[in-house]
Structure 1
Amino acid sequence: MANVIYTKQRGLNMVTDVSIIIAAFNAQKTLGTAIESALNQTDCNLEVIVVDDCSTDDTALIAKRYATLDSRVSVLKTDYNLGCSEARNLAISAARGTWLAVLDADDFFAPDRIATLLETAKKETVEIVVDSYFLCDSLSMNAHTARFTALCPPEESRLFTAQDFIHHGLGSTKPLFKASLLQKHDLSFDPFVSAGEDLLLYTQLVLLQAKCAFINRPMYFRTEDPSSLSRQNRIGFLTELLTVFDVLEGNLSLLHCDFDKTYHAIAYRRKITHDALAAAQWKQWAEHKTSDSFPSVLSGFRLLRHLCFKKQRYAMCPLQV
């Protein structure tokens, strides 16, 4: 399934605090920035595991170059394209860190992100730490919007229940979490979910009573590439995301959580996703104006609701230029 194409032997007695997981497919333009942001983390012992998911560009070559220069980098290459979830799971199976952090190949970290999250985890005695994040232009890499910065005062942290986590949509984040959680609950990224695999896994963990804290300090930079799958096929992405909420709802009876509050939190995020789907359908119709794709009257109501409450629902705060 995969081969280790480059790694340097590190000291066997060296403690690894955090394993940073990067699944990459045809990411030659952005992978270097992602890896460098991981290696430039301050005040922690870390390893970076890059999985080249059968790329057809120079992704593997770039990853190997970093591995030859820094013993903290290991590179795995799949024999065929596995998809994001299985590529991440492959890296996790090779990880030695007490904590895990996922970094998308087109995103990057602030230099003190991991150290700050570790400090927050220690302070709050939790197993999952979530931070606010920036949305960036994929060309300039400049941040234009912050998300989740209104959930508590700047630089402060707070504990989150599973219901808080779901209600505020924190499944879209990239938290730091204990590797032992996956072993304890026999969980991994679901390879059969192509949209919302992060949402599904992290929500399952908090529903299984993993302690979670949030810190209002944007340290993850997420790029918005118009050519990404979630942007090109917005309708398909959101439709798939709705199935994730169905899975979570179907598992509630098996989990130790407040059923009513959790059910209502899931219903709220499902409504938001339905409204976003309606907006995507109307956009498609406006671009093509074919009679067979004319959205329904109900979707018109959902479109208006989406437009009126988008910033509030997605905790978006545009940055002043």
Structure 2
Amino acid sequence: MHQVSVVVPSFNAGLYLRDCVSSIRENSAGVEVEVIIVDDGSTDDTSIRVLSDLGSEPDLKIIRHEKNLGVQVARNNGLKAASGDYVLCVDADDVLLPILGHGSFLSEATRILSTDHHIAFVHTLVRMFGDFHGLTISSYPLREELVARKHHVPIAIVYRRNEILNGLLYMETVLKWQDWAFGVSLLARRWERNERSEIGFIEGPGYGYRVHSTSSRISQTQISEFDATKLVVEVYREFFISKFPDIANDIDDLTAAVVASKPGPLEDLLFVASFKLEHALSMARGREYQLHSAHVNRLGIP
């Protein structure tokens, strides 16, 4: 039985942390799970109490930061402490979901990774819940080419811990679009090793994204997308040149090409339709009514 290390960074997320941990336990059939909670300097009473209670449970490992260092550092410290064969990060206010027809997202993902070394990582569809319901707009299978063109990479990807042992970590200088940057890092490092990278996909949905307004999320932070993307392109310039061969070898031109290739909502919807038309129709019906709502826009519906 494969062991999966599930890293849960948590900062003042005590309202949701129990649900997150319970969902991991309940949806881990077929694998052994190591849950690593990284308390990133929580200060509110609820979080401190919940973390204290969870700290007495033997199947959990809790890493504590004396002060808030940011989600990237928290994830990286969790990854460095992981001992499983495979790794998954889960946000503390989100949950894993049961998948009909499979033992669990974790068991099916590890089966795929263990039987095909060309698979770089495995992902699943993401379903929103809480203040908004439905699949996220990027609900379709990924390919390496799409990731290079700035299609969304979710946090919920399962990959081999060997990648971490070989130096893969989150880029702490990238303050937004970190999951995309991490996906690029994983694929680009394999490309540098002349390894083929395919991406496994389990429809599910196997991950639940909680939409709420009780705290801000990084996705709502105002940061220059060009500047954030440039940090990634600079590190993996040759990888991006291989994907954009017609662009001059200038970092600004290359970055501009990557940002320009990012799909808008309509293009994402067309990708969804090409994968499963009923999903796209459901999104179009639901969001046509909701997208003009200031409440939904404030929540940053993905």
Q: Shorter chain as normaliser: what TM range?
A: 0.7 to 0.9
Partner letter of residue 17 of structure 2?
A: L
Whichever of the two has the greater Rg, that structure is 1
Q: Is the 8 A contact 1:17 1:44 kept in 2?
A: yes
Q: 1:172 to 1:119 in 2, by over 3 A?
A: same
- The 1:72–1:93 alpha-carbon spacing in structure 2 relative to 1, beyond 3 Å, is same
Match of 2:172 among 174, 184, 191: 191
Q: 1:27 aligns with which of 10, 13, 25?
A: 13
Secondary structure of the 1:176 match is strand
Q: Which residue of 2 aligns with 1:137?
A: 130
SS in 1 for 2:176: coil
Residue 128 of structure 1: aligned partner: 121
Q: Deviations over 1:16-64 (max 9, x none)?
A: 6110000000101111111111122111011101011111122243133
Q: In the alignment, is the contact (CA less than 8 A) between 1:136 and 1:144 conserved in 2?
A: yes
Output one character per residue of 1:204-237: Cα deviation in whole Å (capped at 9) or x when no partner. Answer: 111222634231332011122344244654xx14
Please, which of 90, 93, 100 is the counterpart of residue 80 of structure 2?
Answer: 93
Q: In the aligned structure 1, how far is the partner of 2:73 from the partner of 2:35?
A: 17
Q: What's the CA shift for 1:176?
A: 0.5
Task: Indicate if the aligned counterparts of 1:20 and 1:103 stay in contact, CA closer than 8 A.
Answer: yes
Distance 1:79 1:121, change over 3 A: same
Q: What CA deviation, in whole Å up to 9, does each residue of 1:121-143 have, x standing for no partner? A: 234432411222112234xxx73
Distance 1:314 1:62, change over 3 A: farther
Deviations 1:53-88 (A, max 9, x none): 11112224313323424x221111111111101111
Matched, 1:45 2:32: yes
Contact between 2:240 and 2:254, CA under 8 Å: does it hold in 1? no
The match for 1:59 among 40, 43, 47 is 47
State how many pairs are aligned. Answer: 259
Q: Quick check: 1:250 aligned with 2:237?
A: no
- Asked if 1:214 corresponds to 2:200, the answer is yes
Distance 1:266 1:72 in 2: 44
Shift of 1:201: 1.7
What is aligned with 2:90?
103
Q: Residue type of the partner of 2:231?
A: V
| TM-score with structure 2 setting the length | 0.73
* Counterpart position of 1:298: none
Query: Separation in 1 of the partners of 2:185 and 2:265?
Result: 30
Between 34-43 and 210-219, the greater mean CA deviation after superposition: 210-219
Q: Normalising by structure 1, what TM-score?
A: 0.69
After superposition, the Cα gap between the structure-2 partners of 1:193 and 1:262, relative to the gap in structure 1 and judged at 3 Å, is: farther
User: Structure 1 residues 258 and 34, CA, compared in 2 at 3 Å: closer, same or farther?
Assistant: same
Q: Is the 8 A contact 1:108 1:222 kept in 2?
A: yes
Residues 1:218 and 1:246: Cα distance change in structure 2 (over 3 Å): same
Question: Aligned partners of 1:45 and 1:223: how far apart in 2?
Answer: 25
2-side partners of 1:103 and 1:265: how far apart?
31
- AA aligned opposite 1:23: P
Distance 2:69 2:140 in 1: 37
SS of aligned partner of 1:189 = coil
1: CA distance between counterparts of 2:150 and 2:172? 25
CA contact (8 A) 1:163 1:265 kept: no
RMSD: 3.2
Please report how far the alpha carbon of residue 161 of structure 1 lies from its aligned counterpart in structure 2 after TM superposition.
4.8
Other-structure match for 1:181: 163
When residues 260 and 166 of structure 1 are mapped into structure 2, their CA distance, relative to the original with a 3 A threshold, is closer
- CA shift for structure 1 position 150: 4.1
User: Residues 308, 217 of structure 1: CA spacing in aligned structure 2 closer, same or farther, 3 A cutoff?
Assistant: closer
Percentage of matched positions with identical amino acids: 16
Amino acid paired to 1:64: S
Q: Report whether the alignment pairs 1:202 with 2:150.
A: no
Specify the SS of the correspondent of 2:73. helix
Query: CA–CA distance in 2 between the matches of 1:130 and 1:261?
Result: 28
- 2-side partners of 1:51 and 1:83: how far apart? 11
- In the alignment, what sits opposite 2:295? none
Q: 1:249 to 1:127 in 2, by over 3 A?
A: closer
Partner of 2:250: none
C-alpha distance 265-206 of structure 1, shift in aligned 2 (>3 A): farther
* One of 212, 215, 222 as aligned partner of 1:225: 212
Q: Which residue of 1 aligns with 2:260?
A: 271
